[in-house]
Amino acid sequence: MSESEKSAFSSENILAVTTGKRGLLEELHLPSQAVSFIRQNRRLLLVTVVVSVAAIVGWNWYSQYAAGREDQAAVLLAKAMEAQTPAQRRALLAEVRQKYGRTDAALLSGIEEAHLAYGAGDLAAAITGYEAALKIMDAENPMQPLVQLELAQAYADQKAYDKAIALLEQLKDTAGFAGMANLALGRVHALAGNSAKAREALQKVIALENVYPPLREAAQIQLGLL
């Protein structure tokens, strides 16, 4: 297997997404400005979502109590995101989950813990974290497809190709994710040694109407490597 075939789902690339080196975001050919924005603002955006949700809760006593817990959880989550070391961040994230279960901040803390495990190369812990998040996540939660994509990548990196493919097959039916899911399917099928399926998935990306142009270009590049 060539280096180009395994690059998108390799441990090195997964780690690169969190360290600023070339990684999956570049493999998807996103604009450099978009890559920088995602890397620099991901944690801030997550905290903003929590605070926004907390702000709209409340018209009776229980709602006020829930809003208070959401606010407190959001503050602790923000503190965790500002932690100077991974160990400090993990400890604070765990505290959010333990103290403020059933809040959006607790859910986001679990996802961030999975991200940290993923970046550290602990695929088993990352998969457990992503799976746990999906079990409690509302089907309408806009973060669900993003977590599914992260989990699929972890499965693929663990060489659990069947699980990755099954998840991506679900994801491709989600509005706005057909291009990205099929692009990832092409990569996973290639890693699994199924060139025919890989070509089929990549050709779907190219044929999609209104697909994000860099995704089509990435599919064309991958298709040429098969």
Per-residue pLDDT for the chain (226 aa), expressed as one digit of tens each? 444 334 343 334 433 433 344 444 444 444 455 445 545 555 555 555 444 444 444 434 445 555 678 888 888 888 888 888 989 999 999 999 999 888 888 998 999 999 999 999 999 999 999 999 999 998 888 889 999 999 999 999 999 999 999 999 999 999 889 999 999 999 999 999 999 999 999 999 999 998 889 889 999 999 999 8
Task: Report residue 126 as tokens.
Answer: 């990352």
d(CA 17, CA 113): 15
Q: Name the pTM for this structure.
A: 0.71
8 A C-beta contact, residue 152 and residue 185: no
The full length of the chain comes to: 226
Nearest 5°: CA angle at 180, between 183 and 121? Answer: 85
Q: CA-CA-CA-CA torsion for 35, 15, 103, 58, nearest 10 degrees?
A: -10
d(CA 88, CA 81): 10
Which ranges in 56-122 belong to alpha helices (H)?
61-81, 86-99, 104-119
8 A C-beta contact, residue 115 and residue 124: no
The tens digit of pLDDT for each residue in 77-92 reads 888 888 889 899 999 9
Task: Report residue 166 as tokens.
Answer: 């099954």
pLDDT of residue 46: 53
8 A C-beta contact, residue 57 and residue 67: yes
